[in-house]
Amino acid sequence: MKTILVLGGAGYIGSHTVYELIDNGYDVVVADNLETGFRKAVHPKARFYQGDIRSKEFCDHVFSSEKIDAVIHFAANSQVGESMVNPLKYYDNNLGGTRTMLQSMIEHGVGYIVFSSTAATYGEPEHVPILETDPTHPTNCYGETKLSMERMFYWASVAHGIHFVALRYFNACGAHMSGKIGEAHDPETHLIPIILQVPNGRRDHVSIYGDDYPTRDGTCVRDYIHVTDLASAHILAAEYLMNGGENNVFNLGNGVGFTVKEIIDTAEKVVGKPIKCEMAPRRAGDPAQLVASSEKAKTVLGWKPKYDDIETIIGSAWNWHKEHPHGYDD
């Protein structure tokens, strides 16, 4: 049985990946500092280490205590807005933490890592859908640090022979179909949970930032992907590497964009009640459309999203949020 170390495995996407790994017969070790993750989100069958990957002592302890076959890396700060006002935090954690962990990983002879990157590495896209070969010009510090992490893995590969896959994606959403785990951020910045706070009585209305974009209804278009489909892609990428695959970068998305208004309309249908929304000015740096092409991941990794219907995605999120309006504090 292969042992996979999931860094940030108590967070949103990390915890769902741990559940999928265990369902697929893997032995799983989770390392998380619980800054934004939750101990309750960790699968009971996973072995848990609480600590920070910026600590070499902590990384060495995990790698020497466990025989790790591959690493899946989610441990990073990920708020675009925060990264613009506190960029050094992002360099410290995202790049500093990754460098320290990578050094320990190399010293302990672990050769495979799957890395949760972001489609923010592309910046304002030149065309839609976005391809892996498109230029990378991040427009925020978060995207810049993720792109720098990709380059760090590349040069560590050249020097030390490690193998890596970077997965770039946009809007992770939805919740585990069992309802056991889901999304819980404070403050919440993701559109679907923000919308669902209205019928949950935690928010009066949803703000729509701009309705004059060159899109079918004037609101921004985004690519939404179910968190369990993201999790399965990370597992396929780890298997690809362990089976001799070369270093690679893959986009993950549904290839179909939905406008903000369409997401709100679908949410109203799912919850069965109207959701109040108010227009607000555009936010700086919001591109009109962000949609990724996932053809490469489907072809090379054999990835097949199971939950690509937006009603199913929002339905799974609502099942979680209506039972856990305050996340893991309930």
In a 10 Å sphere around its CB, with 0-12 CB exposed, 13-18 middle and 19+ buried, how is residue 212 labelled? exposed
**Catalytic machinery residues:** 142
Distance of CA 226 to the CA centre of its chain: 10
Tokens 């109207």 appear where?
274
Tokens 């996973």 appear where?
46
pLDDT along the chain (330 residues), means of 10: 98 98 98 96 98 98 98 92 92 96 98 95 89 94 96 98 96 95 88 95 95 95 95 98 98 92 98 96 83 96 95 97 88
Pairwise CA distance, residues 175 & 183, whole Å: 7
Tokens 């489909």 appear where?
229
Identify the pLDDT of residue 330: 62
Pairwise CA distance, residues 144 & 97, whole Å: 15
Q: What is the DSSP letter of 247?
A: P
With contact defined as beta carbons under 8 Å apart, do 249 and 240 qualify? no
Domains and CATH numbers, the chain: 3-173+225-252 (3.40.50.720), 191-222+255-329 (3.90.25.10)
CA distances from 204 to 18, 153, 183, 209 (A): 34, 44, 20, 16
Closest C-alpha to 252, from 270, 229, 268: 229
Tokens 């193998």 appear where?
163
Residues 6+ apart with CB under 8 A from 152: 95, 98, 99, 102
> Rounded to two decimals, what is the model's pTM?
0.96
DSSP string, 274-292: ---EEEEPPPTT--SEE-B
Pairwise CA distance, residues 47 & 34, whole Å: 15
Half-sphere exposure of 295 (CA within 13 A, CB side): 6
